[in-house]
């Protein structure tokens, strides 16, 4: 197994660790100053999420640079991305930090585009990530980090960046999904 695929597998393995720190109260205490408060559990989950999310571009870069792109990597990389985002979104909904509608919209789009990618694979082609798809990923990661950090540092200026970024992520997620389906409508069997 090559280095890029190992990095992807590490990203998958970090998913349950993030969820444990989000959903299990280890009573590690709170970080508090002025009107800001965050549990150490949540800080640890945020740090692990940032590490996991940063490996997304790294594994692809290594695979392309070293010309070690494999079918396993083509399968695992998007799967790892979907697992990471979906698991954290579901955890955030469970914690009452994210509106379920936003999580449903984002996760539904991911399933739909994954299905379209599977159809493309059956037809012998690979759907490359679009520019909108890359923007979607960046905005989703930004949103998740802002929610994990309890809107830090924007809470000090009384700006709900976490809420704005959540709705922005939902909107661009829908748009990028529509973009994928419109550009690849030839893959959809019409019978």
Q: Where are the domains of the chain?
A: 3-187
On whether the pTM is more than 0.95, the answer is no
Which of the pair, 161 or 72, is modelled with greater confidence? 161
Q: What pLDDT, in 10s, does the model give residues 41-51?
A: 999 999 999 99
Rounded Cα distance between 106 and 89, Å, is 9
Report whether CATH 1.20.120.1760 matches the domain 3-187.
Answer: yes
According to the model, what pLDDT value does residue 10 have?
A: 94
Mean pLDDT of 97-115: 94
Model confidence pLDDT, tens digit, residues 148-161: 999 999 988 989 99
For residues 112-129, give the mean pLDDT: 81
The 8-class DSSP code of residue 128 comes to P
**7 token code pair:** 């990095």
Dihedral sign, CA of 133, 7, 107, 160?
negative
What is the DSSP secondary-structure string of 43-105?
Answer: HHHHHHHHHHHHHHHHHHHHHHHTT---HHHHHHHHHHHHHHHHHHHHHHHHTTSS-HHHHHH
Q: How far is CA 172 from the centre of its chain?
A: 13
Average pLDDT score over the chain: 90
Quote the pLDDT of residue 83.
94
Asked whether 70 and 2 are in contact (CB, 8 A), the reply is yes
């Amino acid at each position: 197994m090559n280095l890029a695929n190992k990095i992807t597998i590490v990203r998958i393995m970090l998913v349950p660790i993030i969820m444990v720190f989000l959903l299990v109260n280890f009573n590690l205490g709170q970080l508090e100053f002025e009107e800001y408060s965050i549990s150490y559990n949540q800080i640890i989950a945020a740090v692990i999420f940032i590490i996991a999310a940063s490996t997304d571009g790294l594994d692809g870069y290594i695979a392309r640079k070293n010309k070690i792109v494999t079918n396993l990597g083509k399968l695992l990389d998007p799967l790892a991305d979907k697992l990471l985002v979906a698991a954290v979104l579901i955890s955030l909904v469970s914690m009452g930090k994210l509106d379920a509608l936003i999580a449903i919209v984002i996760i539904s789009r991911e399933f739909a585009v994954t299905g379209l990618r599977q159809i493309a694979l059956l037809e012998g082609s690979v759907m490359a990530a679009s520019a909108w798809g890359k923007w979607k990923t960046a905005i989703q990661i930004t949103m998740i980090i802002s929610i994990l950090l309890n809107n830090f540092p924007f809470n000090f200026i009384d700006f709900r960046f976490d809420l704005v970024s959540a709705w922005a992520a939902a909107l661009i997620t829908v748009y990028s999904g529509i973009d994928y389906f419109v550009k690849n409508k030839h893959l959809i069997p019409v019978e």
